[in-house]
Amino acid sequence: MVEAHLRGVRKALAAGWSVLERGGSALDAIEESVALMEDDDTFDAGRGSFLNRDGKVQLDALIMDGATLQAGGVGCVERLRNPVRAARKILSESPHVYFVGAGAEQFAAEHGVPLCRNEDLIIAREVERLREYQREEAGHGNELFAPTISHDTVGAVALDRQGNIAAATSTGGTLNKAPGRLGDSSLIGCGCYADNLSAAASTTGWGEPIMKLVLAKWTADRVAAGNLPEWAAQEAMNYLKQRLNGHGGIIVLNAQGQIGIAHNTPRMAWACKTIKKEEAGIERNGV
Ligand code: ASP
């Protein structure tokens, strides 16, 4: 699905860029980019996500504002097409930071984010993928987190004209996960982080090692210490591999507009645009 991934990230990039071009905020830009990828069946976010052990879609998302450190997160939601929009409402309209399950759905509905049925988020490709996985598991056991098992979480980082950065991450989590399992993606500092004084970062990959290492914040701290995002992104992947034999990918951006993209999986689709140039790819290994 290489082409579908490249198409998906390019479309998300265009949506975010058009917000920034109009003078919109980094926060608005990443919300639009991530919502678009949630709507795209290709990715493990929103409709088309991996199914959990019970055959349900269960979604996590976080959005964070680097200017104010305000954040909004949802975990284990089952009735939201666009968890990032609910997360954004939490960021802007709630004194709280994080809602899970039915409470998150209730908050979303009360704040104008429409609910859907869980079945509306399930597609045939994923029903088959789960069936296949469980069949193999019953036979000889699966290595659930082998690097070849796709991690298709989506994320975005942006810098706006006001000099503010922001980050968002959204996921359906890992294939065949236990119901109620929460990954790194929606946890502050793990799958997502943003602070104008350090960096905006979004991760994908095997969530358990990433959250143990608080990897997005770890990376932002390296940038705050004076390192380039490009170096910090690669170092984060080295640290993930060396410390916990983890795998994944990360995108990083600081308030000076310097960018880092790294992964230690075979592939990770990415797209990136500055005033000077636009790029996209499916591999970006090495600094
Ligand atoms: N990091 C996500 C999780 O563990 C999975 C992914 O990136 O695809 O929930």
Domain range for residue 169? Answer: 2-281
How far is Cα 215 from Cα 193, in angstroms, rounded to an integer?
9
Share of the chain above pLDDT 90, in %: 92
- Residue 145, number of CB atoms within 10 A of its CB: 17
How far is Cα 106 from Cα 100, in angstroms, rounded to an integer?
10
How far is Cα 24 from Cα 9, in angstroms, rounded to an integer?
20
204-241: pLDDT as tens digits: 999 999 999 999 999 999 999 999 999 999 999 999 99
Q: Which residues of 67-101 are buried (b: 16+ CB within 10 A; e: fewer)?
A: beebbbbbbbbbbbbbbbbbbbbbbeeeeeebbbe
Q: Taking 80 as the threshold, does the pLDDT of residue 140 lie above it?
A: no
Instruction: Please tell me the predicted confidence (pLDDT) of residue 138.
Output: 75
What CATH number did the domain enclosing 180 receive? 3.60.20.30
In a domain, residue 191? The reply is yes
Q: How far is the CA of 151 from the centre of ligand 1 (A)?
A: 6
Q: How confident is the model at residue 142 (pLDDT cuts 50, 70, 90)?
A: low
How far is Cα 84 from Cα 113, in angstroms, rounded to an integer?
10
Instruction: Please tell me the predicted confidence (pLDDT) of residue 283.
Output: 83
Instruction: Please tell me the predicted confidence (pLDDT) of residue 147.
Output: 47
As a whole number, the mean pLDDT across the chain is 94
DSSP 115: P
Pick the closest to residue 173 from 283, 89, 263, 74 (CA basis): 74
How far is Cα 162 from Cα 164, in angstroms, rounded to an integer?
6
Ligand 1 closest atom vs CA 207: 4
How far is Cα 269 from Cα 264, in angstroms, rounded to an integer?
13
Q: Taking 60 as the threshold, does the pLDDT of residue 9 lie above it?
A: yes
- What's the domain count of the chain? 1
234-271: pLDDT as tens digits: 999 999 999 999 999 999 999 999 999 999 999 999 99
In a domain, residue 287? The reply is no
Q: Which residues line ligand 1 (CB under 6 A)?
A: 44, 151-153, 171, 173-174, 183-185, 191, 204-205, 207
Query: Could you list the active site residues?
Result: 153
11-20: pLDDT as tens digits: 999 999 999 9
8 A C-beta contact, residue 201 and residue 191: no
In a domain, residue 286? The reply is no
Q: How far is the CA of 23 from the centre of ligand 1 (A)?
A: 32
Residue 171 β-bridge partners: 60
Q: How far is the CA of 203 from the centre of ligand 1 (A)?
A: 8
Q: Taking 90 as the threshold, does the pLDDT of residue 151 lie above it?
A: no
Q: How confident is the model at residue 144 (pLDDT cuts 50, 70, 90)?
A: low
Higher pLDDT, 24 or 136: 24
Q: Is the dihedral of CA 217, 223, 226, 227 positive or negative?
A: positive
Instruction: Please tell me the predicted confidence (pLDDT) of residue 287.
Output: 36
In a domain, residue 151? The reply is yes
152-197: pLDDT as tens digits: 899 999 999 999 999 999 999 999 999 999 999 999 999 999 999 9
Q: Which pTM value belongs to this model?
A: 0.95
Residue from 1, 5, 151 to probe ligand 1 pocket by mutation (most atoms less than 8 Å from CB): 151
Find the mean pLDDT for residues 120-127. Answer: 97
Q: Which of 54-68, 120-134, 136-150 has the lowest mean pLDDT?
A: 136-150
The length of the chain, given as a count of residues: 287
Instruction: Please tell me the predicted confidence (pLDDT) of residue 284.
Output: 72
Give Dmax (Cα) for the chain: 56
50-106: pLDDT as tens digits: 999 999 999 999 999 999 999 999 999 999 999 999 999 999 999 999 999 999 999
In a domain, residue 205? The reply is yes
How far is Cα 55 from Cα 186, in angstroms, rounded to an integer?
21
Instruction: Please tell me the predicted confidence (pLDDT) of residue 27.
Output: 98
List of residues 6+ apart from 147 with CB closer than 8 A? 247, 264, 265, 266
In a domain, residue 21? The reply is yes
Instruction: Please tell me the predicted confidence (pLDDT) of residue 135.
Output: 92
In a domain, residue 38? The reply is yes
Query: Can you list the alpha helix ranges (DSSP code H) found in the chain?
Result: 2-21, 26-39, 83-93, 101-110, 124-140, 207-212, 215-224, 229-244
Q: Taking 60 as the threshold, does the pLDDT of residue 148 lie above it?
A: no
In a domain, residue 145? The reply is yes
Q: How far is CA 104 from each of CA 76, 120, 141, rounded to the nearest angstrom?
A: 9, 18, 34
